Amino acid sequence: MVELEQLRFVRLRPNDLAQAADFATRVLGLEPVDRTPETATFRSDYRDYTLAFGQDRVPSVGLEVRYSSDLDAAQKALGQLGLKTGRGSTEDCALRKVKDMIWFTDFSGNRFELVVRPLNTGWRYFPSRDAGIRGLTDVLIRSTNIEKDLSIWTGVFNNAKVRDWAGDAAYLGFDDAHHRLAFFPADKPGILAVEYAVEDVNLLMRNHYVLRDLQVPVVHGPGRRPASDQLFLTFAGPADVLFSFVAEGANISPAHQPRQFPAGPEGLCGWGSDCRVTEFNALAKGRDR
Amino acid sequence: MIKLQDVSYVRLGTADLEGATNFATEYLGLEVSHRSKDAVYLKSDQREHTLCYFAGSPADQTAAFEVSEQSDLDAAAAELEKLGHRVRLGTAKEAELRQVRNFIAFQDPTGNNIELVWRPAMSSRRYHGERDAGITGFSHIGLCTTDAPRDEEFWTKVCNARVSDRIGDAALLRIDEVHHTIALFPTTRAGIQHINHQVESGDDVMRSFKFLSDRQVPMVFGPGRHPTSSAKFLYFEGPDGMVFEYSSGVREIADELLYRERQLPFEPKGFCEWGAKPEIKEFRN
């Protein structure tokens, strides 16, 4: 069994790199780190980067484990489940600024990367605009088979636990945060939303008005998630991926038991905010059938 | 000095008593305390009523403040008359309608109808709103002023209000530890500029934003957060164009000696630190 330590990065492939980079700095307010004609990375906290735009064939989510031996163990266990996995080359590792890595695709076809010794920054984070970002906090993922995909996480990683359910969507956590990954039923794989924590409700609402001025389409929120108690504001980003600002949110106590919340917008927002995310609304339709 | 203890109630005339009552109960979330032939009394907290709609002209608006003693009423009447305000003693019948033991009526320098009441009725039954708006009580009023410095002087020198902050020339006044109970907004008319109810949490403000938006209630400002009082707010329009506000998290000023009022700009950022822009006439240049 392998221990997951941290959520580290999200790698996306935008159609227009310049436009995506502009979104990252002007809308999200992230700090540009490295830039080549094909790639751009952005910092949001103590990690060297948490968002990378590049030429990868499929988008991926990076998670940290402690030792190379953990990678060996994970690769073996993932292989036994019949999943496609591979070791990262020296070049792959250099590109990601990690010491060692493996990758795997889950049953839906989502790519995850497990990395060892990813780079932290020695310099503090200095945002492009004062959005009040505290850091990358969680990622929402589309799944075509929730049950099988979850079995990977709970089977291979001993600290990964389903924290709550909203309809068939599952919140998965591995540290004291309510969740780091959340899987939503969908008809195709992919990253649904990348979520950055902001300082507090004031920053969240300030960002709401900034997004309005910047004419960024808000697709869900501002609202509060009944399961995680997070305040959220979800909006459209590059590469067909949504981005969210989130704030507050409950930490997990040792006595926490997974709870079932309603499917659809009702189970995803306690304020009744308008929801224009197909995957969130589809849940509600699924329940009615 | 006239010692105001609390804002007590607001009386609003309306040509459509039924419509106003529907708004107050189904949308605003108040509870009907009792009805008479031509008036409806509404409850928002432990008090017997804090808002009254009566059949009459929408321009006929009155705000009432509570005083502690009968002698305070007498002293206030004498002081106001000395200053040239016409003071009217409420009749027994009128006092009964208002559910107070005794009251006097006068106009402030702008011409706002003000009543000072003694022993307003408390309810033995707790407030249970028509909908779960999370209301914890009627809390403050905005008053129109045609001369802000003159009226600020009236409320702070003749009465016991203190300036908590100013937005441009608009003074936010406290009469107890709550940041403001009266707010004076410069304009060209007399009347009540807005009516505030406190709600339990910021979540309630946001829930109501959705609830009222869905029902096409005109949103005129917010959701936002006041840099002055730190309260999260939502302003919307009710019957006869009256602006109602929900807010939560209003600052309290515990130390009178240490507190110093601040000056904020009379522009959107002086009213909201989240970036909302007011559609309220008195909040705009």
- Statement to judge: residues B152 and B279 lie in one domain: yes
Q: Does any domain span residue B66? A: yes
- Statement to judge: residues B191 and B53 lie in one domain: no
DSSP letter (8 states) at residue A121:
P
- Statement to judge: residues B148 and B231 lie in one domain: yes
pLDDT in tens, B93-108: 999 999 999 999 999 9
Q: Does any domain span residue B126? A: no
- Statement to judge: residues B180 and B100 lie in one domain: no
pLDDT of B89 > 90? The answer is yes
- Whether residue A182 contacts residue A249, with contact meaning beta carbons closer than 8 Å, is answered with no
B243 is in which domain, residue-wise? Answer: 135-283
Q: B223 and A205: CB-CB below 8 Å?
A: yes
Within an 8 Å CB–CB cutoff, is residue A46 touching chain B?
no
Whole-number pLDDT of residue A104? 98
- Domain end among B88, B118, B148: B118
Q: Which residues of B touch A209 (CB under 8 A)?
A: 274-276
Of chain B, the percentage scoring pLDDT greater than 90 comes to 98
Exposure on the CB side of residue B282, measured as CA atoms within 13 A: 26
Query: Which residue from A127, A234, A145 is spatially nearest to A185, judged by alpha carbons?
Result: A145
Nearest CA in chain A to B273: A206
Residue A36 one-letter amino acid: T
Q: Which residues of A touch B273 (CB under 8 A)?
A: 202, 206
Structure tokens at A274: 């308008």
Whole-number pLDDT of residue A122? 83
Residue B85: Cβ within 10 Å count:
17
Q: Does any domain span residue B125? A: no
- Statement to judge: residues B11 and B99 lie in one domain: yes
Q: Please state, in angstroms and rounded to a whole number, the distance separating the CA atoms of residues B281 and A132.
A: 32
pLDDT per residue as tens, chain A (289 positions) = 799 999 999 999 999 999 999 999 999 999 999 999 999 999 999 999 999 999 888 899 999 999 999 999 999 999 999 999 999 999 999 999 999 999 999 999 999 999 999 999 988 899 999 999 999 999 999 999 999 999 999 999 999 999 999 999 999 999 999 999 999 999 999 999 999 999 999 999 999 999 999 999 999 999 999 999 999 999 999 999 999 999 999 999 989 999 999 999 999 999 999 999 999 987 665 544 3
- Domain end among B70, B87, B118: B118
Whole-number pLDDT of residue A287? 47
Residue of B132, B232, B234, B274 best to disrupt the A interface, most CBs of A under 10 A: B274
Burial, B210: exposed, middle or buried (Cβ in 10 Å; 0-12, 13-18, 19+)?
middle
Integer CA distances (angstroms), B165 to B158, B171, B250, B259, in order: 19, 6, 13, 10
- Statement to judge: residues B114 and B139 lie in one domain: no
Residue in the structure block whose two tokens are 């909201």 = B272
SS3 string of A40-96? EEEECCCECCCEEECCCCCCEEEEEECCHHHHHHHHHHHHHCCCCEEECCHHHHHHH
Q: Which of A209, A222, A224 lies closest to B276 in CB terms?
A: A209
User: Region B167-172: what's the mean pLDDT?
Assistant: 98
- CA-based nearest distance B204→chain A, Å: 8
Residue A90: Cβ within 10 Å count:
8
Domains of chain A, CATH where assigned? 6-116 (3.10.180.10), 133-288 (3.10.180.10)
Q: Which residues of B touch A271 (CB under 8 A)?
A: 203, 206-207, 209-210
Query: Which residue from A134, A147, A67 is spatially nearest to A101, judged by alpha carbons?
Result: A67
- Statement to judge: residues B279 and B190 lie in one domain: yes
Q: Which of A205, A271, A274 lies closest to B203 in CB terms?
A: A271
- Domain end among B56, B90, B118: B118
Q: Which of B203, B273, B276 lies closest to A202 in CB terms?
A: B273
Higher pLDDT, A282 or B179: B179
Within an 8 Å CB–CB cutoff, is residue B203 touching chain A?
yes
Whole-number pLDDT of residue A289? 36
- Statement to judge: residues B150 and B218 lie in one domain: yes
- Statement to judge: residues B105 and B156 lie in one domain: no
Q: Which of B209, B232, B275 lies closest to A210 in CB terms?
A: B275
Within an 8 Å CB–CB cutoff, is residue A205 touching chain B?
yes
- CA-based nearest distance A288→chain B, Å: 23
Residues 6+ positions from A22 with CB-CB distance below 8 Å: none
Category of B32 on φ-ψ map: left (φ > 0), alpha (ψ -120 to 50) or beta? beta
Of chain B, the percentage scoring pLDDT greater than 70 comes to 100
Q: Which of A209, A210, A271 lies closest to B210 in CB terms?
A: A271
User: Region B258-285: what's the mean pLDDT?
Assistant: 95
- CATH at B51: 3.10.180.10
Integer CA distances (angstroms), B215 to B209, B211, B218, B234, B236, in order: 10, 7, 9, 15, 12
- Statement to judge: residues B201 and B234 lie in one domain: yes
Q: B202 and A201: CB-CB below 8 Å?
A: yes
Enter the pTM of the model.
0.86
Whole-number pLDDT of residue A8? 98
- Statement to judge: residues B278 and B208 lie in one domain: yes
Query: Which residue from B275, B274, B270 is spatially nearest to B284, judged by alpha carbons?
Result: B270
Nearest CA in chain B to A206: B274
Whole-number pLDDT of residue A288? 43
- Statement to judge: residues B60 and B143 lie in one domain: no
Q: Does any domain span residue B218? A: yes
Task: Tell me how many domains chain B contains.
Answer: 2
Within an 8 Å CB–CB cutoff, is residue A202 touching chain B?
yes
Q: Does any domain span residue B1? A: no
Which uninterrupted H or E stretch holds B207? Answer: helix B202-214
User: Region B24-51: what's the mean pLDDT?
Assistant: 96
Query: Which residue from B226, B58, B180, B188 is spatially nearest to B171, judged by alpha carbons?
Result: B180
Whole-number pLDDT of residue A284? 60
Q: Which of B207, B211, B274 lies closest to A209 in CB terms?
A: B274
